[in-house]
Structure 1
Amino acid sequence: IGISFAAKPGPFEKPKPHPGWDGILKATKFARRCLQINMIDPASSLGSEDSLYLNIWVPHSENGGFMSGDRGDVIIVSVGYRVGTLGFLSTGDSSFPGNYGLWDQHAAIAWVRRNIQSFGGDPDNITLFGESAGGASVCFQTLTPYNKGLIRKAISQSGVGLCQWAYNKNPHKIVAEKVGCPTDESMVACLKSTNAVTLTMILKGPHDIPFYSDPGVLSQLMSSVVDGDFLPDEPGNLFHNAAEIDYLAGVNDMDGRSFTAQDIPSLSDKNKEIPVLLAAYTKKKGEAGLDIAFAEYISNWDSTPSQDTIKRTAVEIGTDYIFLVPTEAAVYLHAANAKSGHTYFCVMSEPRLLAGPNKPYHDWVGADHTDDPQYAFGKLFTTPSAYGQRHRDLSGYMIAYWTNFARTGDPNKEHLTVPVTWPKFTTSGQNYLDINAKMNESSVGKQMRLCFENKRNLSVTHM
């Protein structure tokens, strides 16, 4: 643990190779995380500028859970990379091209390619895996020409490169103004000399951006950009670079719940709040797009829909526009461009652990954002008393699908048995697997809640 894969980067510069060390490196202590806002106390920061380290978990020969690498018999490497202002500040030109965090990830991938054989790994069988922003990062790493030949497989959960929040089409110089730097030719020198913590703390949330009125999750000033280098074109035009990569992507059926709750904390008027939420997502489609979308989402309402029905509709809207539509578009484009690469698509629908009568969440609440990693990483086997057998069963299913895919490119093939055969996603079939604790043959479906073509017409994903 705590192995340097690149030297400490200069401010707003690409990572440079690590100079190495003399003798034997004692890799027994975790490095500090990358400098970022403390999510528990947003008024403070945590982490360090010296943060380009990785950790390697190798399976042990004795019994153990997936957390120790044994259950799926795979080697796991976790990577630190620059985030926020230090990782993604861009002026939209050569002054600050941006994407420094993506370059960090690429440097880590290249390091693993060069060195993983020393840890018992296969350098020709690297699988990327990420969730949320990590899922979008995985997608970007498959799209850049710099990773051709380095990656064999990739898994994106609850985030792809086509999500609106994943990349910024209109970089701004508001960061300079907030820290007191000029926006003329001296801006670059001024920003590079500004304290890193100050730069990190200037945008503690979307409400610190005065001209952003989008839903909170879409108001991401610090995200990836089309820089003409790492991302030479719009993400939707780069899927040919992933033609030889096997790609598995999925969402949770209520990925947008927590984000929607932030944007509309109460629903007192169904004819006001729902259209306002939809208008933010469909504004590029104008009034006609809003009207079509509103009619689609309330088509199953009766004349007096319950509060739960209205809330669930709001969650479906947030899930569709923030996660589901972009992910469907990404797997469609991957399948359309694939040569040797195969495509798989899934939705996790297991209800929240704390959903139901006399519990914090309504009984209709399904899988929320970030619910899936605990199953994929086998947390339920390390703390068995906190979970039921159905949850451990689901965790076993996900570990089997994910590690089979990592080893062979096929989630159904290898040494771990799966409950249902997961069919490939193709442009004609558009199959997906509904993942939950009660899986059976009916868990295989085609398309999602709304017609895929209708969703593409209503969506505002960048394609």
Structure 2
Amino acid sequence: MLRIVHTGCGAVEGIAASEPEITVFRGIPFAAPPVGDLRWRAPQPVEPWEGTLVAHDFAPACPQPTPGDSNEFYDREWGTDPAIALDEDCLYVNVWTPALRGSGEDVRMIADRPLPVMVWIHGGAYQTGCTAEKEFDGTALARRGVVVVSVAYRLNVFGFLTHEWLREESQARQDDAPYANFGLLDQHAGVQWVREHIAAFGGDPENITIFGQSAGAGSVLAQICSPMNKGLFGRAIMQSGAGLGMFNRQQQSFDQSHRNAERLFAALGVSSLDEARQVPAEDLLKAAEDLPVPPDSGRDGEWSMVVNWVPCVDGRFLTDQFARTIARGEQNEVEIMLGNTTGEFMEDDADGTQLPAGEVGNLKLIAEWIRSGRKAPYYYRFDVTMPGDDAGAFHSSDLWFSFGTLAACWRPFVGWHYDLSRRMVAYWTNFAATGDPNGPDADGTPLPEWTRYAPFGDDAMRLGQRTRMIRDWSTNAERNALLQWGSATTN
């Protein structure tokens, strides 16, 4: 069944999802193609189109290392398609809505009021990933009465290169446009598009929750900390994002990012921004992949892409390190929910004892958040030993559950897994609707009560075969959390 809505940019035709009451619109442009002179520019407004845009298929993903070749475990987990189309013209959104009935132009809204909106930002270390991954299907979330939007953004060298030439270009235009963090700016522009156009899909532009996983959760934290986002969204969910640890512990400076671009341009043999923008995308990506880590970085042996092409403190979109922004209480006024999987990102402490760095980083973020005077977050630990192999509760393994897409996974899930997924979808959508994950399950019975983080008490919701509030962290993780909390409450 085909359904047409009318946005401020033009008419868009969607198609019934796997459940006919859900309509999905795939591949709607939210910004002009970032190609040619728009490479390494802040996203520009999309031109309105004539006629009806057929939005049945996902748009190409941003150029990236060949999907299916980057990580054998995760490529198998997500069923990555190596034939997926890649193109610099990649700034598109996808929308799942339960609010429409009828067909063709004869479409009507069935909701008596606009529905809450959830905007998804995918992960992939800022280097890989796309909105078409099958675990990100928004149908199950939309079934719970929300409009779901997934936003694509520029990755790796296309999204996170900056150079002094770009700052000079911005100054010459005198438009005060940002000249770095283009991937983060794309996400920001995607949420702006949602705010301007989501009413046509039955969504409430005044009730937007952004959510993401891994680098997508790091992106959510960046959006929370950016002064450009004041009032743009009211809630945020960070999944497997490591809080103020791991890749969020320290953001690159503009100068560091500039030096990486200098090394790349030297390798390419270009001597101007015009020349750099004329390098074919495949040649640019190859050179970016081949560029080693900076010689003075102390990060030999790491994948160079995650060292060279990541967000930086540019003074415009990001004005300071995340931790310092939050410590000063300068983050945007939002309510947050966050969590991690059991044993995520294990690291050795000074004593050689292994710590779950994802958990500790989240607890540090919670401590700073509360210290800044904001409401205590809702915090979870996903504790499911995934069936089918011995991988345990690995990084981002909660995605199948929070999206309700277990049936699309190769793993032999059983009944209680589906029960847990149903509860998680309810928690996520309840939080998006009201700022409180509690409420009825799909069958109308109350969900197990989830309380806000409470130091020295039950502090986390354990999402597992038994769903309940717990305080049973490992000794070292608990010690670190309590030390951090003590610092937060006495300074």
Instruction: Note whether the superposition's TM-score is higher than 0.5.
Output: yes
Q: 1:194 and 1:205, CA in 2 relative to 1: closer, same or farther beyond 3 A?
A: closer
> Contact 1:81/1:104 (CA < 8 Å) preserved in 2?
yes
For residue 456 of structure 1, report the CA deviation from its aligned partner: 8.8
Residues 16-42 of structure 1 deviation map (CA, whole Å, 9 limit, x = unaligned): 111211233222222111121114235
State how 1:374-389 maps to structure 2 within 5 Å. 374-381=400-407, 386-389=412-415
- The SS at the match of 2:379 is strand
Q: 1:385 and 1:201, CA in 2 relative to 1: closer, same or farther beyond 3 A?
A: closer
Alignment partner of 1:223 out of 310, 333, 338: 310
For residue 192 of structure 1, report the CA deviation from its aligned partner: 2.7
Q: Could you say which residue in structure 2 is the equivalent of 1:144?
A: 226
> Contact 2:438/2:450 (CA < 8 Å) preserved in 1?
yes
Greater Cα shift, 326-335 or 137-146: 326-335
Alignment partner of 1:198 out of 280, 283, 291: 283
Unmatched tracts of structure 2, length 5 or more:
1-25, 72-81, 102-136, 170-178, 485-491
Greater Cα shift, 108-117 or 69-78: 69-78
Q: 1:144 and 1:381, CA in 2 relative to 1: closer, same or farther beyond 3 A?
A: same
Q: Could you say which residue in structure 2 is the equivalent of 1:310?
A: none
For residue 195 of structure 1, report the CA deviation from its aligned partner: 2.3
Q: TM-score, normalised by structure 1?
A: 0.74
State how 1:384-423 maps to structure 2 within 5 Å. 386-413=412-439, 416=442, 417=445, 419-423=447-451
Q: 1:448 and 1:94, CA in 2 relative to 1: closer, same or farther beyond 3 A?
A: farther
In structure 1, what residue type is equivalent to 2:398?
A: D
In structure 2, what residue type is equivalent to 1:352?
A: M
For residue 148 of structure 1, report the CA deviation from its aligned partner: 1.2
In structure 2, C-alpha distance between the alignment counterparts of 1:180 and 1:84, rounded to whole Å? 18
Q: Are 1:85 and 2:119 an aligned pair?
A: no
Residues 233-271 of structure 1 deviation map (CA, whole Å, 9 limit, x = unaligned): 1111223344531100111113226xxxxxxxxxxxxxx
For residue 377 of structure 1, report the CA deviation from its aligned partner: 1.0
Alignment partner of 2:252 out of 168, 179, 182: 168
- The SS at the match of 1:204 is helix
In structure 1, C-alpha distance between the alignment counterparts of 2:461 and 2:448, rounded to whole Å? 9
Q: Could you say which residue in structure 2 is the equivalent of 1:346?
A: 380
Alignment partner of 2:89 out of 47, 50, 74: 50
Q: 1:115 and 1:342, CA in 2 relative to 1: closer, same or farther beyond 3 A?
A: farther
In structure 2, C-alpha distance between the alignment counterparts of 1:347 and 1:35, rounded to whole Å? 33
Alignment partner of 1:371 out of 373, 377, 397: 397
In structure 1, C-alpha distance between the alignment counterparts of 2:446 and 2:180, rounded to whole Å? 42
- The SS at the match of 2:54 is coil
For residue 114 of structure 1, report the CA deviation from its aligned partner: 0.9
Q: 1:343 and 1:22, CA in 2 relative to 1: closer, same or farther beyond 3 A?
A: same
Greater Cα shift, 125-134 or 152-161: 152-161
- The SS at the match of 2:252 is coil
Greater Cα shift, 7-16 or 424-433: 424-433
> Contact 2:151/2:190 (CA < 8 Å) preserved in 1?
yes
Q: 1:400 and 1:182, CA in 2 relative to 1: closer, same or farther beyond 3 A?
A: closer
> Contact 1:3/1:54 (CA < 8 Å) preserved in 2?
yes
Q: Are 1:8 and 2:33 an aligned pair?
A: yes
In structure 1, C-alpha distance between the alignment counterparts of 2:386 and 2:290, rounded to whole Å? 26
For residue 384 of structure 1, report the CA deviation from its aligned partner: 10
- The SS at the match of 1:37 is coil
Question: What is the RMSD of the two structures over their aligned residues, measured on CA atoms?
Answer: 3.4
> Contact 2:423/2:447 (CA < 8 Å) preserved in 1?
yes
Greater Cα shift, 229-238 or 88-97: 88-97
- The SS at the match of 1:255 is coil
Q: Could you say which residue in structure 1 is the equivalent of 2:360?
A: 325
State how 1:33-432 maps to structure 2 within 5 Å. 33-41=61-69, 47-59=86-98, 67-91=139-163, 94=167, 97-159=179-241, 162-166=244-248, 167-169=251-253, 170-171=256-257, 173-180=259-266, 186-204=271-289, 212-214=297-299, 216=302, 220-239=307-326, 240-242=329-331, 244-256=333-345, 278=348, 290=350, 293-294=351-352, 297=353, 313=354, 317=355, 319-320=356-357, 323-339=358-374, 341-354=375-388, 360-361=389-390, 366-381=392-407, 386-413=412-439, 416=442, 417=445, 419-426=447-454, 431-432=459-460
In structure 1, C-alpha distance between the alignment counterparts of 2:325 and 2:222, rounded to whole Å? 9
In structure 1, C-alpha distance between the alignment counterparts of 2:204 and 2:145, rounded to whole Å? 13
Q: TM-score, normalised by structure 2?
A: 0.70
> Contact 1:431/1:447 (CA < 8 Å) preserved in 2?
no
In structure 2, C-alpha distance between the alignment counterparts of 1:159 and 1:436, rounded to whole Å? 19
> Contact 1:140/1:161 (CA < 8 Å) preserved in 2?
no
Identical residues among aligned pairs (%)? 30
> Contact 2:382/2:398 (CA < 8 Å) preserved in 1?
yes
